[in-house]
Amino acid sequence: MGLRKFSLRAFLKKNLDFIAGVSSEIGLCIGIIIIALAISFFLVFIKSLA
């Protein structure tokens, strides 16, 4: 299982990268969702002006 070569520092770094990576992917999707919501509000605002 590769335990002889196991390095705690490398393991932690990889896992931190992984967690940060997952968070940034979720963040990206939330960002897009917020923009989509803003588009909906913007359109309704435009319609209310017309």
Partner 1 sequence: MMKFAVVFMLVLLLAPGLATAETSKELIENARAFDGGQVTLQGEVIGVMMRGNNAWVNVYEGGYAIGVWVRAEDARNISFIGDYSHAGDNVLVTGTFNMADPEHGGDLDIRAENFTITAQGAAILRTPNVIVVAISMILVALAIVSLVWLWRIHKGEEKIAPWPVYWR
Partner 2 sequence: MIPSLRREDLRIIGFNLSKILFIVSIVMLIPIIVAVIYGEFEIIPHFLIGSSISVILGSITHHYWETDKEMELKHALCFAALTWIVSMLVTAIPLWTTGSTNSYLDANFDTMSGFTTSGLTLVPDIDHLSYSINFYRHFLQFFGGIGIIVISLTVLSRSELSSVLTFKGEARDIGIKPNIVRTARVILGIAIAFMVIGSVLFTAAGIIEGANLRTAIFDGVNYSMAAYSTGGFAPHSQNMLFYHSTLYEVIALIIFLIGSFNFSFHYSILSGRRREIFKNIEIKTFFTILLLSTLVISGLLLFSGVYSTPDVLFRKAFFQAASAQTTTGFGTLYPVQISTIWPSTVVFMMAMLMMIGASANSTAGGIKAIRIGVMVKSFVREIKKALSPRSATVETTYHHVEDTPLTETVAKGAMLIAFSYVLLFIVGTTITMLHGYGMSDSMFETASAVGNTGLSSGITSPAMPDTLKVTYIFLMWAGRLEIMAVLVLIGFTILGIRRGFRK
Measuring CA to CA, which residue among 45, 30, 26 is closest to residue 18? 26
CB proximity list for 32: less than 8 A, separation 6 or greater: none
- Return phi, psi of residue 7, to 5°: -125, 125
Q: How many residues bind partner 1 (CB under 8 A)?
A: 6
HSE-CB of 12 using CA atoms within 13 angstroms = 3
List binders of partner 2 among 28-47 (CB under 8 A).
28-30, 32-33, 35-37, 39-41, 43-44, 47
The answer to whether residue 20 forms part of the interface with partner 1 (CB under 8 A) is: no
- Summarize as ranges the residues that interact with partner 2 (CB under 8 A): 14, 17-18, 20-22, 24-26, 28-30, 32-33, 35-37, 39-41, 43-44, 47
- Summarize as ranges the residues that interact with partner 1 (CB under 8 A): 1-2, 5, 10-11, 14
